[in-house]
Amino acid sequence: MESLLADLYKITLILLMSAMIACSDNQSNGPIDSSLPERVGLAESEKIDALIKILSSHSSKLGDPIFLRAFKEEKLLEIWVLPKGNSKYVKVRTYPICEASGESGPKLRQGDKQVPEGFYHIAVFNALSNFHLSLGINYPNKSDRYFVDSKIPGGDIYIHGSCVSIGCLAMTDDFIKEIYVLCDRARRNGQQKIPVHIFPFEFGSKAEMDLTLKNPLLKQRWSNLKEIDNYFVKYRKPAIWDVDSEGQYQLASN
């Protein structure tokens, strides 16, 4: 009888431990998914502890919604997250952009080596990239199509590793691992579109004043970008935007 009770006790303990493990697996900060592509799995295993620590200091966790905000002139890429229960995004990381070809101004055609400017989302997750890991944006978007060369608009615009760029935002391999893991976890946790806002410069900076004087034909377009970014600065959430009959960005109902 005592032996039977001991066996039942052991079985109960095993079942309880299994239930606890199952609960742990359902958390977005849970263990690495063994079905991930090898390169992504290695990036997660290398970066997950540091990312959990960074996010937890902002009351956030892996899998929370992500927003990317880039500035070409300053060569900076910001990562913002929306902690559960919050209405405002918080900035958790700022990465130096290792390389970005071209100059201020939008991308207009294939081969111009320009990084686009405007409002995009991540459309491609490439775990087998020639540039370590890469996140492709949906260029050309609705606004771009008013201005680009319709025959050769170009494409394949990515945030990627390897620190080389021909129209992309190139990061170091070390940084792209973190960025990819953050975005991939958000996607796997249900975020259907991860916004990526790319600006020619930080608005309100000396670069804005200098480059606007140098490029008067771009003043209106940049002013529209600024209006939508100002909404984010004020409310700490990406604005809903639309495109007018001339292809210019405009604030929509928010």
The residues assigned a catalytic role are: 160, 168
Give DSSP secondary structure letters for 30-94: -PPPTTS-HHHHHHHHHHHHHHHHHHHTTT--TTS-EEEEEETTTTEEEEEE--TT-SS-EEEEE
- Contact by Cβ (8 Å): 232, 224: no
Helix (H, G, I), strand (E, B) or coil at 160: strand
- Pairing relationship of beta strands 241-243 and 249-251 according to DSSP bridges: antiparallel
Provide the β-strand partners of residue 241: 251
Residue 77, Cβ neighbours under 10 Å: how many?
Answer: 23
- Contact by Cβ (8 Å): 241, 253: no
Distance of CA 93 to the CA centre of its chain: 11
Question: Whole-angstrom Cα distance, residue 143 to residue 165?
Answer: 23
Residue type, 100: A
Residue that is written with structure tokens 């899998």 in the block: 63
